[in-house]
Amino acid sequence: MKTWLHGLLFLSLAGGAAGQQQQQQTGPSPQYDLLLRGGHVIDPRNAIDAVRDLAIRDGKIAEVAERIDPARALKTIDVDGLFVTPGLVDIHVHVFAGTGERRSYAGDNSVYPDGFTFRAGVTTVADAGCAGWRNFEDFKRLVIDRSRTRVLAFLNIVGHGMRGARYEQDVDDMQPEPAAEMATRHKGLIVGIKTAHYMGRDFRAVDRAVAAGTKAGIPVMVDFGRAYPEKSLAELVTVKLRPGDIYTHVYSGLRGELDPSGHANPALAAGRQRGVIFDVGHGGGSFTWRVAVPIIQEGFWPDSISTDLHAGDMNTGVKDMLGVMDKFLALGMPLDRLILCSTWNPAREIRQEQIGHLSVGSPADVAVLRLEQGDFGFMDVYGARLRGRKRLSCEMTVRNGKVVYELNGLSRPDWATLPKNYRATGSPRWDGNRASSGGLGRMPLGYENPADAPDPAGRDSSSRRRP
């Protein structure tokens, strides 16, 4: 009896859905591809912090308003109770994967971006110097050109990039001329020059990075290695760096950020006064509660939040961009400021002012976030824990106007409402995961033409018709 009733219910629901679909097909084509309705929009660039509807068309933000009629959109997704923010921008990651080189950030220490970005609301990353001018074009070919995430790069001042200590301590390979030339050739893709891991007790690595940055007209990001009396943090940020250059790993404590008295090094405030930018760059060794808490208690917050994501830290304290943002939430950073430090601020720092906000006409890169309440814990790089009551999770990510990730299928119909032999549920106008075969998920690499793809049922491809 129960089964029979369920069957009847199923049929009636399926009929209703089919009817709706037909209606949609016969009416005029809706103006907007996608409408996110009823979310709390936080767009610091445009000073929006309120419940708003957001409409997308042709991959661009088309309208943000108190109310947008769902009849004007092909697809409406109810995001009531969630936060709608610009797609997150993580300017310190390591994603030069795929070369097969061991113990190298131009190899196995890196991760492929798409596996780690969209599920955390991130739509843009900047690789922090895995490649130098000698191997940047390999990085572009192997990763940048193949990723759905927007991948930008800081070019390492070392010609070979981060291939290990043997290369990274070689001052002779730090050549401003070819680095600047490569950066100029790929303007808009190479957004800065990086120096990192240099252990010498001198400023040669920094000086050469700044020379390249000056020549190419782009900022420098500095991983300062270790500070020494003759190579101090103060000299770096008040003499060597230019306004707009970026000091990453600001809460590491390894470079004198916390002075021996237990207070923030006065050089931090002096550097900020000059216009030097301070970035988190959490990583596997650069975020410690015993350093971050006292510095932040004195009011020195970061300008931008970034992960330093790589194969070695993604399963420890970092996890992902939201995992790092959660720590600042736990330290008391207001949510609008947190979003500012994860969207518009980093976008401005790398001079990509077309992203990091939800202005009409800008690329429709959007994160839909849930603020969870509970009893949570956050680890630093030494495994010390700080407890917190709030945590962000990513419900949905939109890249170039298309849903590329969603945690709970908010955009999707209940299966029982669909026709008996249902296949694709999305439209290519808004569904970023709709494969041409009709299912979700892109074809395996090399099988973009669905007729060439291996059939999971094992049938010969020639016997199948293209959908």
The footprint of Zn ion (CB under 5 A) covers: 128, 308
In whole angstroms, the minimum distance from the beta carbon of 279 to Zn ion comes to 10
Query: Minimum Å distance from CB 93 to Zn ion?
Result: 8
What's the closest the beta carbon of residue 226 comes to Zn ion, in angstroms? 15
Q: Closer CB to Zn ion, residue 40 or residue 92?
A: 92
Nearer to Zn ion by C-beta: 37 or 282?
Answer: 282
Count of positions (residues) in the chain? 467
Residue 93 or residue 367: which is nearer to Zn ion going by CB? Answer: 93
Residue nearest to Zn ion according to CB distances in the complex: 308
Distance CA 369, CA 351 (A): 25
Q: Is 59 exposed, middle or buried (0-12, 13-18, 19+ CB in 10 A)?
A: middle
Compute CA distances 377 → 196, 327, 387, 390, 391, whole Å.
Answer: 30, 9, 4, 10, 9
Hey, what amino acid is at 178?
P
| The dihedral formed by the CA atoms of 43, 49, 51 and 57, expressed in degrees to the nearest 10 | -10
Distance of CA 107 to the CA centre of its chain: 20
Q: What is the DSSP string of 274-336?
A: HT-EEB---TTTS--HHHHHHHHHTT---SB----B-TTTTTTT--SHHHHHHHHHHTT--HH
Least Cβ distance, residue 221 to Zn ion (angstroms) = 9
Q: State the minimum distance, in angstroms, from the CB of residue 168 to Zn ion.
A: 12
CA trace torsion 411, 417, 422, 426 (10° rounding): -20
Closer Cβ to Zn ion, 135 or 397, answer by number: 135
Asked if 313 contacts 283 with a C-beta cutoff of 8 angstroms, the reply is yes
The residue (of 308 and 380) whose beta carbon lies closer to Zn ion is 308
Closest approach of Cβ 10 to Zn ion, in Å?
A: 53
Pick the closer one to Zn ion by CB: 161 or 401: 161
